[in-house]
Amino acid sequence: MKIFVRCGRLFTGNEDEAQKDAVLVYDGGGQIVYAGAEAGAPKRGKGDRAIDHSGQFVMPGLIDVHTHLAYGNAKSEEDIDLYSPLEFRALRGMFFAQKVLASGYTAICSPGDAGQISLSIRDAINAGLFDGPRVMAAGPYLTTHQGLTDWYPTWIGAPETSIGKLVTTVAEAVEEIRRQVKNGVDCVKIAMDGIQRRPDGELIAAFTQEETDIMTREIHRQGKKAVAHAVGREATLYSARAGIDLIFHAFHIDDECIAAMLKSGSVLCPTLTQPKNVIEFTQPHEPAAQRGRPDATLRRYQTGCKNLKKAVKAGIPFLTGTDSGFAVTPYGEWHARELELFVDDLGFSPAAALRAATEVNARFMCGGDRIGVLEAGRLADFTAWDGSPLKDIGILQDRRRLRAVYLAGREMKIEDRPYDPRRVTDFALSNWTDLYTQARVAELRGRRRPLQAAE
Ligand SMILES: [Zn+2]
């Protein structure tokens, strides 16, 4: 039995243009046998089925290589690490993975998660227990004192439920890599940014070059991919020289980093959506605003785009990912904003952004030679849209235009179930964001009347 999909326009991921009046044909196992002009298609036989998307734009399922399934739309680092047990987070992550799928994303990489949450979600989906996107999974970030994800004071350390695994020696790092590989990770994440700055303001990397080399070698020796969080120049440079497969952010990338990446073959996922949303969505009353985070993020974003454009020009492959899982990047909402930002802020054409989110992302993914492109031999992971994202990349964020999502040829029907964030994420113990001195209370009351003793 074969399935014939009539496509108003077919964007395969292999070319910049979409073909008019094309057809996609796949077998009962969801493997594509033909994608192209109707004239060259195999003949429809008895028992073959037809699906009509002749009014739609058909393209590969989108891929987001930066979605943290364990974070749960967190408002703080404590939300990510502390307040809910790993078991609850895994169930919640499964629910949110379905929201991602329902938004047209058929595959994600979850690079850095507590415990074995994303591994378990991946395995539950692969075992057929739930519908969900294809998941490439990591365990906790390898971090050190000075590293991102070692957020808490030394007298607390990195709790077992944290997304960071604190390693204090190279031997501990190697041991943790082997433990994660034994547990079944697809990739290992290293927190390369430190927290200290040089007098000139440059971030000092959390690990030395030698430590980064040893960790990366061991990850590769075990047949896994290495990924790194690296905003700073030094973190980016060490990652590139070590041959880290995928570098996230790289906002302070310079010519030396670019040369090292070209030499080692590292690719880059700048992740513009999360900072852009921090800048645009944070409200003045929120602690992040009061600490000046949106302004600082804006400066970093502008510098980042300027630097990243040089990397685009140099030919470094750019992957799309959003850092979904924070309160500013809830699951299933903003994944396709990254494509719009690639166009608006990095100078990509809509076609190049589409290819970044499909075939370029697929090259990084495990089993990526079977997804990301609609061509014979690959899996029929595809989506159908009203309107052309080649004309307006923004339509990919409009759920009303998403007509269907298919995974290996099977249409996914995910119920759009609402949820109450207070029972899903908001378990933080903080009660107030202000300090109610007499002066502050008088100010809040507009000094209409003096504070009474009895109050
Ligand atoms: Zn991230």
Report the CATH number that the domain containing residue 89 is assigned in CATH: 3.20.20.140
The whole-angstrom separation of Cα 281 and Cα 106 is 27
Question: What's 10's domain CATH number?
Answer: 2.30.40.10
The pLDDT of residue 164: 96
CA of 175 to the centre of ligand 1 (A): 23
pLDDT tens readout for residues 246-269: 999 999 999 999 999 999 999 999
SS3 252: coil
Is 41 within the bounds of a domain? yes
106-118 average pLDDT score: 96
**Residue 447: pLDDT over 70:** no
Pairing of strands 187-191, 32-37: unpaired
CA of 68 to the centre of ligand 1 (A): 7
CA of 111 to the centre of ligand 1 (A): 7
Identify whether residues 122 and 202 lie together within a single domain. yes
Mean pLDDT, all residues of the chain = 95
The whole-angstrom separation of Cα 209 and Cα 446 is 57
Identify whether residues 317 and 198 lie together within a single domain. yes
Residue bearing the bigger pLDDT, 435 or 249: 249
Residue bearing the bigger pLDDT, 221 or 286: 221
The pLDDT of residue 370: 98
DSSP H stretches of helix in 223-372: 233-242, 255-264, 273-281, 287-290, 293-313, 337-346, 350-355, 361-364
The pLDDT of residue 429: 82
CA of 249 to the centre of ligand 1 (A): 9
446 Cβ neighbours under 8 A, 6+ residues apart: none
CA of 193 to the centre of ligand 1 (A): 12
CA of 432 to the centre of ligand 1 (A): 28
CA of 298 to the centre of ligand 1 (A): 18
The whole-angstrom separation of Cα 357 and Cα 334 is 13
**Residue 412: pLDDT over 90:** yes
Is 366 within the bounds of a domain? no
Asked whether the beta carbons of 360 and 60 are under 8 A apart, the reply is: no
Is 435 within the bounds of a domain? no
205-219 average pLDDT score: 98
CA of 66 to the centre of ligand 1 (A): 6
Identify whether residues 100 and 239 lie together within a single domain. yes
Identify whether residues 197 and 208 lie together within a single domain. yes
Is 195 within the bounds of a domain? yes
Q: Is 17 exposed, middle or buried (0-12, 13-18, 19+ CB in 10 A)?
A: exposed
Name the residue type at position 423.
R
The pLDDT of residue 448: 61
Q: What confidence category does residue 162 fall into, taking pLDDT thresholds of 50, 70 and 90?
A: very high
Q: What confidence category does residue 21 fall into, taking pLDDT thresholds of 50, 70 and 90?
A: very high
151-162 average pLDDT score: 92
**Residue 450: pLDDT over 80:** no
**Residue 98: pLDDT over 70:** yes
Identify whether residues 176 and 44 lie together within a single domain. no
Is 428 within the bounds of a domain? no
Q: List CB-based neighbours of ion ligand 1 within 5 Å.
A: 323
CA of 161 to the centre of ligand 1 (A): 17
pLDDT tens readout for residues 227-243: 999 999 999 999 999 99
408-433 average pLDDT score: 90
The domain of 406 spans 1-61+371-414
The whole-angstrom separation of Cα 128 and Cα 92 is 18
CA of 112 to the centre of ligand 1 (A): 7
Identify whether residues 331 and 185 lie together within a single domain. yes
Is 134 within the bounds of a domain? yes
CA of 118 to the centre of ligand 1 (A): 13
CA of 86 to the centre of ligand 1 (A): 18
pLDDT tens readout for residues 284-329: 989 999 999 999 999 999 999 999 999 999 999 999 999 999 999 9
Identify whether residues 25 and 161 lie together within a single domain. no
Is 95 within the bounds of a domain? yes
Name the domain count of the chain. 2
CA of 34 to the centre of ligand 1 (A): 37
The whole-angstrom separation of Cα 451 and Cα 445 is 9
Identify whether residues 207 and 261 lie together within a single domain. yes
Q: What confidence category does residue 451 fall into, taking pLDDT thresholds of 50, 70 and 90?
A: low
42-50 average pLDDT score: 95
For the chain, what percent of residues have pLDDT higher than 90?
Answer: 93
The pLDDT of residue 421: 86
**Residue 454: pLDDT over 60:** no
The pLDDT of residue 434: 82
Is 346 within the bounds of a domain? no
CA of 271 to the centre of ligand 1 (A): 8
**Residue 455: pLDDT over 50:** no
The whole-angstrom separation of Cα 69 and Cα 88 is 12
Identify whether residues 89 and 33 lie together within a single domain. no
